[in-house]
């Protein structure tokens, strides 16, 4: 969310940013919100003047009555009544304008970083760097659910009867790997100085609209019927919401947090074969990393965050690459974003396993997260990144550690979380 003063003073910058994000339908909103803001400020000024004048006249009424000037007092009372009516009109109109201004301001995209490549959609994202050698073995790699079934590790049929499509039962060694990866990711981030946290898994609507765009909210969030609560789509929502309406002493920054949570997503739309199984689902678990920091430090933290994910995947013998998200692929609140993609030997290509985002002060502005610094108060910057989301991690893990005999190697880093096991042996 932008500052209305910035929009007022830099309309062409805001419009060019909209064009860079290929959202031309929003261009008229810039002039509209500037006009509404001018009208709102004029009304506010009139209302302030009416209040001051009403107070002045009200004080004079008592004096006139004491002096026996009843006729003049009645005239003054009439003036107070008339001004009260006009003030009520102004306040009602002002509230109406403020609501419309807020809606537009929450719809306009954040100003993207100058380094972001300009492109219409994810097909124009730019590869930055590869880590590890992507290999294709000389034996066929089955679809990930087939690998899991060999270990009696997944039951999609029963999950379909219980909850419908997009859910699953994980069992045995596969469920154990899932839990091991989460525990390993937790300790990995703690070792890097992050504070471990388990947040609420439901949040109120004012937090939802503070952390994400309307489009994201509609596509992702499940609402609890009859209550002002939503199931979180990622723990970032709760973790950033933790600081709502807070004034943070500058000396306490940065906050570096790593959080575990289940995640719930609608995942609207049809998806291809490779996104079935446990790739795109309604419920999964995730380890996340969150940073709240000074504005000048957010670029540095952005690079640290995505590097953490790269390092974790490489420690599990999974080749990855980083992909710079182009302008058209950035959600409206994001200033800059990098996806981390893991190598799929089966598909012979990379697929997304995490996303690192710098949101500048957009979430802080919406949630009123301020910092008390030496030179006054200012808005914090917020960043988030996926440490690991095991459903997708499991796909990459199984494919990259699969042997010709159907067994799966357990990387050294994960063995303490697997009871010392070096391999998974299939049951089928």
Instruction: Look at residue 345 and tell me whether its pLDDT is greater than 50.
Output: yes
Mean of pLDDT values over 337-352 = 96
Is residue 115 in a domain? no
Task: Say whether pLDDT at 122 is over 80.
Answer: yes
pLDDT at residue 279 above 90? no
CATH number for the domain spanning 225: value is 3.30.930.10
Q: Cis check for the bond before 249: say yes or no (omega within 30 of 0).
A: no
Identify which has the larger pLDDT, 54 or 18. 18
In a shared domain, residues 255 and 294: yes
Residue 389: which pLDDT band, with cuts at 50, 70 and 90? very high
Domain finish residue from 72, 105, 138: 105
> Both 127 and 85 in a single domain?
no
pTM of whole model > 0.85? yes
User: Of all helices (H) and strands (E), which one includes residue 7?
Assistant: helix 4-9
Phi, psi of 171 (to 5 degrees): -140, 160
Residue 110 domain-assigned (yes or no): no
Which domain-ending residue is among 51, 77, 105?
105
Whether 224 is covered by a domain: the verdict is: yes
pLDDT given for residue 79 in this prediction:
73
Element (H, E) at 321: strand 320-324
> Is 371 a residue whose pLDDT tops 80?
yes
> Per the structure, how many domains does the chain have?
2
Q: Are residues 73 and 165 in the same domain?
A: no
pLDDT at residue 226 tops 70? yes
Q: Is pLDDT at 356 greater than 70 in this prediction?
A: yes
State residue 85's pLDDT score: 78
Q: How many CA atoms lie within 13 A of 359 on its CB side?
A: 28
If asked whether residues 366 and 228 sit together in one domain, one would say: yes
Q: How many Å apart are CA 307 and CA 141, to the nearest integer?
A: 29
The encoded tokens of residue 278 equal 């446990």
Q: In the prediction, which pLDDT does 270 show?
A: 46
DSSP, res 328 = G
What tokens does 97 get? 């304008």
- End-to-end, the C-alpha distance of the chain in Å comes to 54
- Quickly state the pLDDT bin for 273 (edges 50, 70, 90): very low
CA atoms of 199 and 208, how far apart (whole Å): 14
Rounded-to-integer distance, Cα 426 and Cα 408, Å:
8
Residues 157-162, mean pLDDT to the nearest whole number: 94
Mean pLDDT of the chain: 92
Same domain, 59 and 136: no
Same domain, 98 and 158: no
Q: Domain residues for 264?
A: 122-424
* Contact assessment for residue 353 and residue 320, using Cβ atoms and an 8 Å cutoff: yes
User: What tens digit of pLDDT does each residue of 408-419 get?
Assistant: 999 999 999 999
Residue 268 has pLDDT above 80, yes or no: no
Residue 62 and residue 175 share a domain: no
Say what the pLDDT of residue 269 is: 53
Same domain, 407 and 283: yes
Token pair listed for 77: 């009372």
Q: What is the pLDDT of residues 238-258, one digit of tens each?
A: 999 999 999 999 999 999 999
Residues 196 and 268 in one domain: yes
Q: Kindly state whether residues 324 and 414 are assigned to the same domain.
A: yes
134-145 confidence digits (pLDDT tens): 999 999 999 999
Residue 294 near residue 254, CB atoms below 8 Å: yes
Is residue 53 domain-shared with residue 144, that is, in the same domain? no
229 pLDDT exceeds 70?
A: yes
Beta strands in 114-269 (DSSP E): 126-131, 154-155, 169-170, 195-197, 202-203, 222-223, 230-231, 247-249, 255-264
pLDDT at 88 (0 to 100): 85
Q: What is the pLDDT of residues 54-88, one digit of tens each?
A: 667 666 666 666 667 666 766 767 776 777 778 88
């Amino acid at each position: 969310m932008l500052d209305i003063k910035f929009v007022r003073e830099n309309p062409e910058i805001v419009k060019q940013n909209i064009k860079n994000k290929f959202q031309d339908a929003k261009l008229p909103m810039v002039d509209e919100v500037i006009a509404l803001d001018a009208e709102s400020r004029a009304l506010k000024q009139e209302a302030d003047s009416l209040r001051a004048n009403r107070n002045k006249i009200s004080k004079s009424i008592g004096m006139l009555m004491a002096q026996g000037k009843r006729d003049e007092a009645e005239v003054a009372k009439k003036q107070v009544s008339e001004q009260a009516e006009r003030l009520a009109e102004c306040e009602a109109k002002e509230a109406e304008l403020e609501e419309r201004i807020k809606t537009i301001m929450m719809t306009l995209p954040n100003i993207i970083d100058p380094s972001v490549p300009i492109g219409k959609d994810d097909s124009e994202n730019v590869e930055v760097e590869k880590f590890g050698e992507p290999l294709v073995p000389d034996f066929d790699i089955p679809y990930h659910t087939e690998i899991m079934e060999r270990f009696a590790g997944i039951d999609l049929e029963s999950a379909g009867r219980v909850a419908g499509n997009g859910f699953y039962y994980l069992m045995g060694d596969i469920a154990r790997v899932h839990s091991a990866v989460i525990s390993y990711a937790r300790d990995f981030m703690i070792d890097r100085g992050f504070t471990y946290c388990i947040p609420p898994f439901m949040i109120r609507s004012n937090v939802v609209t503070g952390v994400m765009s309307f489009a994201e909210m509609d596509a992702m969030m499940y609402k609890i019927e009859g209550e002002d609560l939503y199931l979180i789509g990622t723990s970032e929502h709760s973790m950033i919401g933790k600081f709502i309406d807070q004034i943070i002493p500058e000396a306490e920054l940065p906050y570096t947090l790593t959080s575990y949570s289940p995640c719930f997503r609608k995942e609207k739309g049809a998806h291809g074969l490779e996104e079935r199984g446990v790739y795109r689902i309604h419920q999964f678990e995730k380890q996340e990393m969150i940073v709240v920091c000074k504005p000048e430090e957010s670029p540095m933290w952005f690079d640290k965050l995505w590097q953490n994910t790269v390092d974790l995947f490489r420690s599990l013998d999974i080749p990855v690459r980083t992909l710079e998200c182009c302008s058209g692929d950035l959600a409206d609140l994001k200033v800059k974003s990098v996806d981390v993609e893991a190598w799929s030997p089966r598909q012979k290509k990379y697929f997304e396993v995490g996303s690192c985002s710098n949101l500048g002060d957009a979430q802080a502005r919406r949630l009123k997260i301020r910092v008390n610094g030496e030179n006054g108060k200012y808005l914090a910057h917020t960043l988030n990144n996926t440490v690991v989301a095991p459903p997708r991690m499991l796909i990459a893990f199984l494919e990259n550690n699969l042997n010709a005999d159907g067994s799966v190697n357990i990387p050294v880093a994960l063995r303490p979380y697997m009871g010392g096991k070096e391999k998974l042996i299939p049951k089928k």
